[in-house]
Amino acid sequence: MTQAIAAAGARPRLGRREWGVLALTLMFWLFDGYEVYALILTMIPALHSLLPAADLKATPRYAGYLVSATLFGWATGGILGGVFGDKIGRKKTMILAILVYAVFTGTSALVQSWGQLALTRFLTGVGIGAEWGVGTSLLAESWPAAYRTKGAGLLQSGFSLGAFAASGIWWWIGGQMHLSWRWIYVIGILPALVVFLTARRIPESYRWTQAHRRGESIGVILRGRYGRHLIVALLVSISITVGWWAISSWVPSYVGQIAARTGGNVAYYSGIAGLLYNAGEIAGCILFGFLADAWGRKPTAFVFFAGSLIITPVVFLWVHDLQAILWLQLANGFLTSGLYSWYTIQPPELFPTAARATAISVIFNGARYLAMFGPIVASMLIQAFGGYSQAATAFGLIYILGALAVLFLPETKGKALPD
């Protein structure tokens, strides 16, 4: 009897299936991060080779268009992917999404105009957005509650690892080998090969299978309190997403501009800035999960929002030394990108299985319909102010919205995942 009670109270163990789900989703998220950050790192040199000489002065504006096209595709694909993930399953949707973004990242290497690049980036965004929600749902539904938060933080770090890899590859290709920006997109074809080799090993969510058999309706589940959770969580998402795309996505370009003024190698320093930013991001994403278990979801998110509000003017407005700005990217990445672990931790805990992929995809990707205008507005402010500093500081106020909105969500620490 004593042994039975002890066994009943024992913490569940992570088995081969759980680690396999983490490994596969982490790998695919790594590729997500690579595909996104490849554009951020190379959009300026790409535009310099694709734009007519007369339009080069408007490079920041065209860069804003490219980022916005990616975000528009990401938002559209994300919402469609969430709906399909709840309708046909996590596994099938994930495989299709990965193939889409791998193929169109590869074709980005072949474009001959900025318009063609905008189109391929839109289609790449569709695939990336569609993969995110089902990957998050699959992990949340596969890992036991005792480890789910830490697993979610590790999963989110995969995106950061991909961005870190893209920074390192660009540092080598552009800064050391002086090769074309097109090569970084050729490498982006790799996820298609990985899917071909691992598709049979991707498991389907048992929770989704059971909910699908019960025939539960997405529309009914998202009414009432779930609908309220969706609206508040979307406000939190707007703060995180608009803040990142209107501010942090300009870090490599901002550092490259400072390096150019001193005669430094732009690709080299922008690559280093990306590496340091993403190193901080990886640490922030992982630690967010541990802190959320210790402090709770809401206090942890609030601290990261407050830190992001402070670090933005420090990096962009108050510090001017190139070396200091580079090292500050560790803290910048830790805070502003560490926030992204909130998506993988709290939203899946707010909604039942039959609507989980749809709900978290709307939260994560719906904000991108607004965020897509952030880079365009930011590029206009950059041109108006003659630099990044004032524009970034102004946009940094968006973090106040997130800090306040997260307080209106229920605390989900220690609660079971809704069925």
Predicted local confidence at residue 183, as pLDDT: 92
- From residue 399, alpha-carbon distances to 82, 214, 296, 309, 361 in Å are 26, 40, 19, 6, 21
Could you tell me if residue 128 is left (phi over 0), alpha (psi between -120 and 50 degrees) or otherwise beta? alpha
Q: Is 252 helix (H, G, I), strand (E, B) or coil?
A: helix
The mean pLDDT of 334-361, rounded to a whole number, is 91
Predicted local confidence at residue 10, as pLDDT: 53
What's the sign of the alpha-carbon dihedral 9, 15, 17, 18? Answer: positive
Euclidean distance between CA atoms 392 and 387, whole angstroms: 9
The residue that leads in pLDDT, 237 or 188, is 237
Q: Do 226 and 113 meet the contact criterion of CB atoms below 8 Å apart?
A: no
pLDDT tens per residue across span 252-290: 888 988 888 887 788 788 888 988 998 998 899 999 999
The mean pLDDT of 64-86, rounded to a whole number, is 87
- For domain 15-408, which architecture applies? Up-down Bundle (1.20)
Euclidean distance between CA atoms 243 and 27, whole angstroms: 26
Predicted local confidence at residue 220, as pLDDT: 62
The single-letter DSSP state of residue 404 is: H
Mean pLDDT of the chain: 85
Euclidean distance between CA atoms 180 and 153, whole angstroms: 34
Nearest to 336 by CA among 136, 163, 130: 163
Euclidean distance between CA atoms 366 and 361, whole angstroms: 7
Predicted local confidence at residue 207, as pLDDT: 84
Which residues lie below 8 Å from residue 306, measured CB to CB, with a gap of 6+? Answer: 399, 403
Predicted local confidence at residue 8, as pLDDT: 42
The mean pLDDT of 318-322, rounded to a whole number, is 90
Nearest to 131 by CA among 68, 69, 194: 194
Tell me the pLDDT band of 173, cut-offs 50, 70 and 90.
Answer: confident
**Does the pLDDT value for residue 4 go beyond 60?**
no
Predicted local confidence at residue 6, as pLDDT: 38
Predicted local confidence at residue 303, as pLDDT: 98
**The tokens of 101 are what?**
């973004």
Nearest to 129 by CA among 415, 333, 288, 367: 367
**The tokens of 270 are what?**
């922008």
The mean pLDDT of 223-238, rounded to a whole number, is 90
Percent of the chain with pLDDT over 70: 93
Nearest to 168 by CA among 272, 35, 269: 272
Euclidean distance between CA atoms 190 and 333, whole angstroms: 26
Q: Do 94 and 202 meet the contact criterion of CB atoms below 8 Å apart?
A: yes
**The tokens of 329 are what?**
């990217």
Predicted local confidence at residue 44, as pLDDT: 84
**The tokens of 32 are what?**
């997500």
Q: Do 137 and 85 meet the contact criterion of CB atoms below 8 Å apart?
A: yes
**Does the pLDDT value for residue 9 go beyond 60?**
no
**Does the pLDDT value for residue 209 go beyond 90?**
no
pLDDT tens per residue across span 359-409: 888 898 888 787 777 667 766 776 676 667 787 888 889 999 999 999 999
Predicted local confidence at residue 1, as pLDDT: 38
Q: Do 344 and 132 meet the contact criterion of CB atoms below 8 Å apart?
A: no
Residue 185, CA atoms < 13 Å, CB-side half-sphere: 23
**Which range among 118-127, 160-169, 280-289 shows the weakest confidence by mean pLDDT?**
160-169
Percent of the chain with pLDDT over 90: 31
**The tokens of 2 are what?**
């004593």
Q: Do 371 and 245 meet the contact criterion of CB atoms below 8 Å apart?
A: yes
Q: Do 238 and 374 meet the contact criterion of CB atoms below 8 Å apart?
A: no
Domain assignments of the chain as residue spans, ordered by start: 15-408
Angle CA(179)–CA(103)–CA(347) in degrees, nearest 5?
105
Which residues lie below 8 Å from residue 74, measured CB to CB, with a gap of 6+? Answer: 125, 126, 128, 129, 365, 368
Residue 140: CB atoms within 10 A of its CB come to 26
**Does the pLDDT value for residue 108 go beyond 70?**
yes
**Does the pLDDT value for residue 167 go beyond 50?**
yes
Angle CA(280)–CA(285)–CA(291) in degrees, nearest 5?
115
**Does the pLDDT value for residue 7 go beyond 50?**
no
Q: Do 26 and 155 meet the contact criterion of CB atoms below 8 Å apart?
A: yes
Q: How far is CA 284 from the centre of its chain?
A: 13
Euclidean distance between CA atoms 300 and 290, whole angstroms: 10
Euclidean distance between CA atoms 332 and 397, whole angstroms: 15
**Does the pLDDT value for residue 2 go beyond 50?**
no
The mean pLDDT of 411-419, rounded to a whole number, is 86
